[in-house]
Structure 1
Amino acid sequence: MNEFRYPRQLRLLTGGDFKQVFSRASIKVSDKHLLILACPNELDHSRIGFVISKKNIRLAVNRNRVRRIIRESFRLNQHDLPNVDIVILARKGLGDIENPDVHSLIKRSWSRLVKKAKATARPKPTSNK
């Protein structure tokens, strides 16, 4: 049976963890309101971190709401995600959309992330001339 907990091991905690994702991001999932950067890790699970600035989502209640929705979605989908470190960056307007729309946005983003991770993990075919 799968566990759906959210312990410290599933979070990016230090500045070095975030810096590594920003410098080595090989997977990018972009949307109008959201940007996901990811890089492979050596662990047997994925980890997540958030960069949600006051500039992009003005009210703290909206920043926390968005963070809570994405964290819950990550918790429920963690077993389907590849072994990558993920940074979620909020863009302008994310705090203005309703909860069901945020849920559908992050669900689409997870599927795109999985698809791109599989594509980058596959070795590129070489042509023999």
Structure 2
Amino acid sequence: MSGYSYPKQLRLLTPRDYSQVFDHSQFKVSGPLGLFIATPNQLNHPRLGFVIAKKKVRFAVGRNRIKRIIRDCYRLNQHKLPAVDIVFIARPGIDKKDNLAITKFCKYSWHKLNEQAKKAESK
């Protein structure tokens, strides 16, 4: 994938895609705002999916804001990520954080995922 677009190829779309990540996750990055889990894919690019429960973030406006921020951060950093399928799972209280805090958490998570993937490749 070239450029900074966010086409359908960069998204986890089907329940099968999500269950693949949940069943075979190899990389995890946890923080106070959420959890990123990932598994290698056979594609040449990363893909992203979200699990933001109503129980964790009550209003749709908040869930959509969080997805928009993470998606944008992902879009700008996708060229640095390895070929993995990533699922973000929100934690309670993430909707109370400002956009900058969520963006910093995402950048930190992408960096950690990259390190874990490189370490797994070298083994």
Runs of 4+ in 1 over 4 A off after TM superposition: none
Counterpart in the other structure of 1:127: none
Residue range with higher mean Cα deviation, 8-17 or 104-113: 104-113
Aligned pairs for 1:3-22 (under 5 A) are 3-22=3-22
TM-score by length of 1: 0.92
Counterpart in the other structure of 2:59: 59
TM-score by length of 2: 0.96
Aligned pairs for 1:76-115 (under 5 A) are 76-115=76-115
Query: For the residues of structure 2 that align with 1:57 and 1:119, how far apart are their CA atoms?
Result: 34
| Structure with the higher fraction of residues in helix conformation | 2
Aligned residues: 122
Query: For the residues of structure 2 that align with 1:26 and 1:121, how far apart are their CA atoms?
Result: 12
Q: Which amino acid aligns with 1:53?
A: A
Consecutive unaligned residues in structure 1, runs of 5 or more: 124-129
Report the CA distance between 1:102 and its aligned residue.
0.8
CA RMSD, 1 decimal: 0.7
Residue range with higher mean Cα deviation, 99-108 or 76-85: 99-108
Counterpart in the other structure of 2:75: 75
